[in-house]
Amino acid sequence: MGNQQFKLTVCFERRPDGGLRAWSDQFPELVLSHSNIDGVLDDVPAALSVILSHRFNAKVNVVPLRDVREVLEDKGVIAPKGFVPAQREYVANCA
C-alpha cells in the first residue's frame, strides 16, 4: 500500500437518550453507538484502524483532521463537555 493518505467521512447523530451514534457510508462495517459520547468519539479512530488494516492487509493508523468533539459542539449535535442540563421544577397535586 505504501505511504498513502486519504480522507474518510464519518457521520454522527445524537441519540434520543443523549448518547451518540457514528457510522460511515464509505465503511458500512463502522457502526458505533453508546450513551457515552466521549467513548464513541474515542472508539472511531481505533475501529477504523482495525477495519482498514484488515481491508488493506497493512497497518493503518487513523487520526481525526480536527477535534471531533469541538466540531460536534459547534454544530449543536452534542452539548459542550461538562454541560449540566438546566433544572426543571415540577408541582405535584394530590387529589
pLDDT of amino acid 79: 85
d(CA 45, CA 12): 13
Is the pLDDT at 80 greater than 80, yes or no? yes
Q: What is the helix (H) or strand (E) element at residue 33, kind and residue range?
A: strand 31-34
Give the sheet arrangement for strand 31-34, strand by strand: 11-14, 20-23, 31-34
pLDDT of amino acid 95: 40
pLDDT in tens, 34-77: 999 999 999 999 999 999 899 989 888 888 888 888 989 999 89
pLDDT in tens, 5-36: 888 899 999 999 989 999 999 989 999 999 99
Amino acid at residue number 47: A
State the pTM of this model.
Answer: 0.77
State the cell numbers at 94. 394530590
